[in-house]
Chain A
Amino acid sequence: QVQLQESGPRLVKPSETLSITCSVSGGSISSHFWSWIRQSPGKGLEWVGYIYSSGSTNHNPSLKSRVTILADTSKNQFSLNLTSVTAADTAIYYCARYFTGTTGGYFDYWGQGALVTVSS
């Protein structure tokens, strides 16, 4: 059974960088896609981006170039850096495995989520 756990600072100041890590157990990040999804308080789900074991990434165009997703296969972890944050980036950040084929995919395993608040 694959398990994911988010960790990182829960409070970030405006204009600074949000950094959060997902630790994966029960499976290797050297296969499949691994993704970040966020949910602002009381709102819907928003895909942030994903990384494949090869290091290739893709992210939500709405976040422009603020998103960096990295993978550390030695620690079986992947991470999200979101730069120049504002209050609008306050959200629960979920990490999840994205199981995909040639015709799209789905998120089959999710972490419990980490609420990150942007505030001075």
Chain B
Amino acid sequence: SYELTQPPSVSVSPGQTASITCSGDKLGDKYSCWFQQKPGQSPVLVIYQDNRRPSGIPERFSGSSSGNTATLTISGTQAMDEADYYCQSWDSSTVVFGGGTKLTVL
């Protein structure tokens, strides 16, 4: 079965750039998306189709994808961005999530 791999945790200082990776076989040939989930809340879509931002998502969130890796980048990270982040893609008509990355802003 298809798997997406994310680092369990990433730390960043306020105002700096955070990058969260998601790896999967030929992931760059598929569309990826990213969700932000804060404690006790439902996930929120922050990036879809690799690099598109839904309405209402700040410009500091961006995405890219190439080869076997998709990347979520948060520029000028703020304390409110501390959350769990999940990548998602698909394979053979099934949906696949990455294991999630806890972003700590300290």
Contacts and interface: CB of A to CB of B under 8 A. Distances in A.
A107 B88 contact: yes
B45 interface: yes
Contact of B31 (A104, A107, A110): A104
Interface residues of B, number: 26
B86 A45 contact: yes
A50 B95 contact: yes
A106 B49 CA distance: 8
What does DSSP make chain A's interface, helix, strand, loop or mixed?
Answer: strand
Interface string B95-106: 111111000000
Contacts of B54: 108
B33 interface: yes
A46 interface: yes
A104 B42 contact: no
Interface in B27-46: 30-31, 33, 35, 37, 42-45
B89 A104 contact: yes
A63 to B, nearest CB: 11
Given A98-B95, A111-B42, A44 B90 contact: no
Interface of B: 1, 30-31, 33, 35, 37, 42-45, 48-49, 54, 84, 86, 88-90, 93-100
Given A44-B86, A104-B90, 12 more contacts: A44-B100, A45-B35, A45-B37, A47-B94, A60-B95, A61-B1, A61-B94, A104-B31, A105-B90, A106-B33, A110-B42, A110-B44
Interface of A: 35, 37, 44-47, 50, 58, 60-62, 94, 98, 103-108, 110-113
